[in-house]
Amino acid sequence: MPFPQTEIPGRLQSQLSERGVRMTAQRRAILSVIETAKKHLDASSILRKAQKMDATVDRSTVYRTLELLKRHGAIDELDLMHMEGERHFYERKTGRDHLHMACLRCGKITEFESELFEDLKKQLERDCRFHILVARLEVGGYCAACRK
């Protein structure tokens, strides 16, 4: 996960507060889990981790909060090729988008930023007159280590 040094803990929280989103103990727990995540987390991992900070957090609150964060464009939702199960993964949306490569042999997820990706998005905005809110590029195949 790209963890820019500029990302201050609690940043996500204040960003939402400023937007008029009400802060509760449960939300603070969930937000801090997402902010400090070292990898892509699914809803049930988020729940488990959040419960360690606030035991009252419920599954439905996690889902409702993920919905909220998506609406506010604060997180992205990923399939990561649904390599096992159908669950979705979440990550903090940072300044610049990145794409995800999932190795279908070893399961490794690699992230990559690319100017071409930015150019492609600009092309859609311009040529298709489409106003982009989310752009999700996921690639499946074999990573450098696994290809033959």
Whose structure tokens read 């464009």? 73
Number of Cβ within 10 Å of residue 90's Cβ equals 23
Contact partner, 106, from DNA, its own copies, Zn ion, none, Cβ < 5-8 Å per class = Zn ion
Residue 40 tokens read as 């892509």
Give residues 89-148 in contact with DNA (rule: CB under 7 A). Answer: none
Contact partner, 143, from DNA, Mn ion, Zn ion, none, Cβ < 5-8 Å per class = Zn ion
How far is 31 from 62, CA to CA, in rounded Å?
Answer: 10
Sketch the per residue contact string, 94 through 113, with Zn ion: x for CB under 5 A, - otherwise.
---------x-xx-x-----
Q: Interface with Zn ion includes 143 (CB under 5 A)?
A: yes
On whether the CB atoms of residues 137 and 120 are closer than 8 A, the answer is: no
How far is 122 from 125, CA to CA, in rounded Å?
Answer: 5
Residue 7 tokens read as 């990302």
Q: What's the farthest any 2 CA atoms get from each other in the chain? A: 53
List 79, 94, 108, 121, residue binding Mn ion (CB under 5 A): 79
Q: Interface with DNA includes 43 (CB under 7 A)?
A: yes
Q: Which DSSP string do the residues of 103-118 spell out, in sequence order?
A: ETTT--EEEE--HHHH
Sketch the per residue contact string, 52 through 91, with DNA: x for CB under 7 A, - otherwise.
--x-xxxxxx-xxx-x-----------------xxxx---
Summarize as ranges the residues that interact with Mn ion (CB under 5 A). Answer: 79, 91, 111
Summarize as ranges the residues that interact with its own copies (CB under 8 A). Answer: 77, 79, 81-82, 86, 99, 101, 103-104, 110, 112, 114, 116-117, 119-121, 123-124, 128-144, 147
